[in-house]
Structures are given as structure tokens and as C-alpha cells.
Structure 1
Amino acid sequence: MSFLKYPPWVILHIPHDSCVIPADVRSQFLLSDAELKQELQCMTDHFTHTIFAEPIGDAMVVRAPVSRLVVDVERFAEDEQEPMAARGMGAIYEVTSHLRPLRRRLSPNEREMLMQTWYHPHHQRLEAVVSDTLDRYGRCLVIDGHSFPGTALPYENASPAIARPDICIGSDPFHTPKVLEQIFVEVFGRNGWRVTVNEPFAGALVPASRYQRDPRVMAVMVEVNRDLYLNPDGWGAKLEFDRIAKEIKACCVAGLAKFDSEMSDKPSALSSKSTTDGNDSVVRLRDVTVGGRIRKQFQSSVWAIAQRAASRQSESLNGNMLTSRQTTSLAFLDGSVSVTRGEFGPSSGMFWEGILVKAFILNELGFDAERLLRQSLPSHKELKLMVREGRATLDK
């Protein structure tokens, strides 16, 4: 049987499709069985596992096993960090979608038990899958699969009179390449659907340890209006569900293929921009292994960071602006990585950071390179070892 396949560096995150309420948790809820069923109908992202993740080829799936009414794995663990906690809907909901009491007051031990049983294992699983994908491919993309009701629920604090899109693309300024966001809007729009970005829902999930730290971890959220595929009662799927699910998955796969194609074309375009001033040294990494990562992954990581910087134009990630006077370039030559080094010498402690900063002469881009590169590139000590072992050459 043939089926659509995501690239192997894609991770499908399905956090809200479960209706499971464990028996030992049911007693916490103040709702009758009928009321609880109605709340599940309102708050569950019905069939999103089928829509996004069946079948998927080599991509990985991280799926929450219990309902978000038990624990919402997409919320921050600490209420102080979670904006929705002010409405009683932090990681452990206290109110319903209609802002009525959902569960009795829990003891600290009960709350901790819920987090230890359901929340933390889910995020440990996501962290592990992301780390494994980075080790294998040098990059990963988390597709955060969701759905939303055709009419806003009271907890959303939005007018129910406002027409909602068919598809909402959620993006993050750091982890969603602008070109990927644009491609997803384009491919879903070509299917005849009305598409919005970050409205009515915004953002995309990234593991906490990588958030705004590792640009190799990309993320995009795809939210589907349930009116497209659910019956009016909100439970059963429409007769055309299979077709709609296939079209949604096809849009995701087509968008990723176009994104991958555009990114793979970028390095060769950079080579013509390479410059040196006679005082620079060129480090050419010619071995297949660079700091435990294959060269192709190294290139992919570098270009992923470049793309994110390009999407920000002249913005600064950390208040540190760098001008073209401080930059030179990076080039991909004959399948190897060649980087030019100018005023940032090894003694400055900015050797590798400086190399990458100077790669992006484009539009006088500025960003906190040290923070971005800490997990992506070899240190100067590692470089010296590579030169000593003959795995890299330092040409003066």
C-alpha cells in the first residue's frame, strides 16, 4: 500500500487527541458523566492522530496518552510561566472550557503525582526523540498537530461572532523559519482553505531544553478547524473525513518537500559571496566527521541558523547588533565547509562564534551567535585536535 511519507527528520507531536480519563483520576472531577462527556467533546482535538500521523513512514510520533483534562502537556509546568494559569487552565485545569469548576482542590501531592505520571514522561519522551533525530540528521522539525472548534469557546476570550479560518499555522520567531511558515500558508491555501498565521492560536511546541537555544530544532503548529471534518454534534467524522485527512497530510508533506528543496539550494548560492582580505585564515573541514556529527549535518545546522537569522532581518535576538564591517562570509566549496576568519581570532574566545557571525553579511544581520552556536559547532580546542589528527587543515 502506498502512503504519504514525512521526511525522517520530522517529529509529529499530538498532544490533545486523547479522551482517556484514568479511573483513579475520575474522582477528582466535579462533573457528572454527561457533563464530562460534553467537556471532552469541546476540548479534545478529535482524530488529529489519524489526520497527521497515520501512516507516516519514518517520522516519529509523540502522543499524549491521556486527555488534556487530566494534564495538558502543552502548558508550562510551572503556573508562574503559564499565561493560561491565570484563567485556571495551567498544566492541571481547574475550570472547564466554559470557565466553570472542573475538579476539586488538589493537594500538592496529588498535583505532583499527576505531573510525575503524565506530564514529565511525555516531555522526556519528546526530548529523547528530538535528541535522537538531531544525532541522526543534524536537524529536526516538530509538527504540532491540533484542531479547534468552529466557534470560539468562552475560555479562549475571543468573540464567537468572528469567523474562523479553515487552517491556522502557528509559528515561533526563533524556531519557525519564515520561509517554512510562508510555504505552509501557500500549500494549504492552494487547496482552497482559508489560512491564517497565529490566529486564533499561536506558537509551536519545542522541548524546554532547546527553546530559544538550539535553532536546529524547528517547529510549526498546524491547527485544523473541526467544522471541516466533524459532524455538527462534534463527535463523529463526516463521510468525507478520509479525503480531508489525506489532503491535510498531503499539504504537510508537500510543504516540507518544497522547504527542503529551497534550503538545499541555498549553500551553493552562498559560495559566490565568499570574501577574504588577505589577513584571514581559512579553515576547511574535509573529513566526514566534525565533532561527532557528519559533515552534511554540520552544513545543515549552519544553514538552519543562517535561515533563522535571515528571517529576522536587522532584529537582534539578545540586543547584540553586528554590522557588515564585522562580518565576512561562509562558503560551501566542493562539498566541504569553508569559513573565513578575520578579526575574531582564537584568543578572543569568539573563534567559532565569530566564524558564523561573519557568515551572514546579508542585510547587516545581527544576533547572539554565541548562544546559538554553543550546541552546534566544535570548540577551538576541538578544532586544534582535528588539525593535529589531520581531520582539518588550517590554511594561512
Structure 2
Amino acid sequence: MSRPAPPLTCELLPGADDSPVILHVPHSAREIPAGVRAGILLDDGELERELDLITDAHTAELAEEAARLAAVTPWRFVNRLSRLVVDPERFPDEREEMRAVGMGAVYTRTTHQEVLRAGDGDPEPLVERYFRPYARAMTRAVAGRLAATGRAVIVDVHSYPAVRLPYELHGDGPRPPVCLGTDSFHTPPWLAAAAREAFAECGGTGFDSPFAGTYVPLEFYGTVPRVSALMVEIRRDTYMSEPGGPAGPGLSRLASALARLVDALPG
């Protein structure tokens, strides 16, 4: 008897050969492999509620629609597993400040700081099985854009709740309709300006509050200026029913804005 195929952990969806843009969608999925689910202490109802709160719902659809609308199709790199498996955007070591609330590369606490996994289990098996292959695949995707176009522009597509959740370390500041996360090395002024203009009609933008920073694979982080990056955090009440409900008409408006940003980026 043949074994079932392993779950698809991430997927690179090709864009135009001459596009430097990668829309990165790390937190849109709810899928948790059975072996990982066995280590989570929540019952089925509790897990569904936690997924409603922690998942960046509909962001994969948002990126897909933006790619369809863009004049030059961007590439898309999409996580197909829930961030409750591993969070590919965390540091897997002591550099990660979210470890303080049990949300490093492998979460041990929920959004409300309840126990998610038993004891002080070793995160290494999950890091080795899911985190590192994801990081390698994203590194290859960025290297591919550098080789093909001479540059790479990562646009990280996220969402966040209208009301602060207990796990947020820096959630006491503004919560604009669109929060733009930046990095002092990888977010040049032209990229920040293009994003602010593209999302101007979406209710207002702000920078680095309640979430800051960008995602860049470690091979390029802080050393390769031809890799630019910006995080787009969209407040969920602007496009969906919270928590975990259906998308509304705001999704199309935001997809059009994201497409405008893609089209504004230099090739």
C-alpha cells in the first residue's frame, strides 16, 4: 500500500519572467498535519477559535487577485500550513523577541497566552521538518528573482485584528487600516512612498504600528541591498467579519491597491 503524499508546506507560484516582485503570504492557511495536531492540547472547538484569531484569513486570495490585476504578474510564495505548525517569519533562536510570549518559531502559547503545547517540548523536530525547508525554498525564490532581474522586492501580505490581542508586544499604538512594516536596510524610501500612495484610498496608512519590520531570508538579510522588502498589514475589519468570518467587498478594493503597488515597483 502506498503512503499518502506529505502535506504541501509551501508553494511558489510563477509570475512574469521580468518581475522582481514576490508577494509573500505566510499566515493565510489553517491546515495542520495530523502528527502536529496530536501535540496541540486544545480540543477541536478551542483549536478552531484559535485559528480564527491567529490566521491572516483571505490573504492568499488577496494576493491572487492582486496578481491577476497587475500589469506585470508578480510571483507569489504561499505557506500552505498554519502558523501553528511553525511560523516561518520568526527567528528559530534566542534573537526572537516573541519567544517571551511563547511565539517563537514554534508556538507554545495561544493568542490569549494559554498553553498550546505540552511542557517544554523540543521544538527542533518541527523546525527541521517544516521551518528550514520553508526558509530554503524562500531563499531560492529570492535568488531566482535576483538572477533573472538583478533585484528582488518582497511584499509581505498579512492581516491583523481590529482589537489588540494579549500576545501582542507592541499593540498599544495606532491600528490604522493599513500598517506598513519597514526595515532600515531593506525598505528604501521609494518603496515606502509607493506603498503609501497605492493604499491611500483604503482608509489610511501608518508605519510600524502595531507591527514593525519585514521578512527577508537570512542569506540576504542586512547584506544585500538589491533585496528590498515591505510588510503590508491590513486591519481585518476593513475586509472581513472578525474573527475568521467571510470576506467582504473591502477585499477587492485592497487587491486593487496591492496591484497598484506591484505596478509601481521598478523592474
TM-score band (shorter)?
0.7 to 0.9
Q: What are the Cα deviations for residues 339-375 of structure 1, in whole angstroms up to 9, with x where unaligned?
A: xxxxxxxxxxxxxxxxxxxxxxxxxxxxxxxxxxxxx
In 1, distance between residues paired with 2:23 and 2:171? 31
Instruction: State the Cα deviation string for residues 264-288 of structure 1 (Å, max 9, x = none).
Output: xxxxxxxxxxxxxxxxxxxxxxxxx
Residue 108 (structure 2) pairs with residue 87 (structure 1): no
CA contact (8 A) 2:66 2:259 kept: no
Aligned to 2:29: 18
For residue 225 of structure 2, what is the amino acid of its counterpart?
A: P
Question: Residues 158, 215 of structure 1: CA spacing in aligned structure 2 closer, same or farther, 3 A cutoff?
Answer: closer
CA contact 1:52–1:248 (8 Å) conserved in 2: no
Could you tell me which of 169, 184, 191 is aligned with 2:195? 184
Aligned length, in residue pairs: 248
Asked if the contact 1:152–1:158 (Cα under 8 Å) also holds between the matched residues in 2, the reply is: no
For 1:13-32, what per-residue CA distance to the aligned partner results, in whole angstroms no more than 9, with x for missing partners?
A: 11101101111111211111
State the distance in 2 between where 1:24 and 1:106 align: 18
Maintained 8 Å contact 2:24/2:157 = yes
**1:116 and 2:128 aligned:** yes
Matched, 1:217 2:223: no
Aligned-pair distance for 1:235? 2.0
Q: Is the 8 A contact 1:164 1:200 kept in 2?
A: yes
C-alpha distance in structure 1 between counterparts of 2:83 and 2:98, whole Å: 14
Structure 2 CA distance for partners of 1:157 and 1:83, relative to 1, 3 Å: closer
- Is the 8 Å Cα contact of residues 166 and 193 (structure 1) preserved in structure 2? yes
Q: How far apart are residue 257 of structure 1 and its match?
A: 3.4
How big is each residue's C-alpha offset from its partner over 1:179-219, in whole Å with a ceiling of 9 and x where there is no partner? 21022112212x14121011111111001000010000010
Q: Structure 2 residue aligned with 1:105, among 99, 119, 131?
A: 119
Residue 164 in structure 1 maps to residue 175 in structure 2? yes
Q: 1:32 to 1:142 in 2, by over 3 A?
A: same
Q: Counterpart in 2 of 1:194?
A: 204
Equivalent AA in structure 1 for residue 217 of structure 2: P
Larger Rg: 1
**Structure 1: how far apart are the matches of 2:171 and 2:219?**
35
RMSD of the alignment, in Å?
2.0
Partner letter of residue 171 of structure 1? T
Q: Percent identity?
A: 36
SS at match of 2:157: strand
Higher helix share: 1
CA distance in 2, matches of 1:117, 1:42: 25
How far apart are the structure 1 equivalents of 2:236 and 2:65? 18
Asked whether the 8 Å contact 1:12–1:53 carries over to 2, the reply is no
1:31 match: 42
Q: Deviations over 1:111-147 (max 9, x none)?
A: 2221122111111111001111100000010010000
Q: For residue 251 of structure 1, give the secondary structure of its aligned residue in structure 2.
A: helix
Runs (4 or more) in structure 1 with deviation over 6 Å come to none
Residue 56 of structure 1 corresponds to 67
Q: Does the CA-based 8 Å contact 2:161-2:242 persist in structure 1? A: no
Other-structure match for 1:383: none
Unpaired runs of 5+ in structure 1? 261-299, 301-396
Q: Give 2:254's aligned residue.
A: 248
Q: Return the letter of the residue paired with 2:226.
A: R
CA separation of 1:130 and 1:165: change in aligned 2, threshold 3 A:
same
TM-score normalised according to structure 1 size: 0.59
- Tell me if structure 2 keeps the 8 A contact 1:13–1:142: yes
TM-score of the superposed pair, with normalisation by structure 2 = 0.86
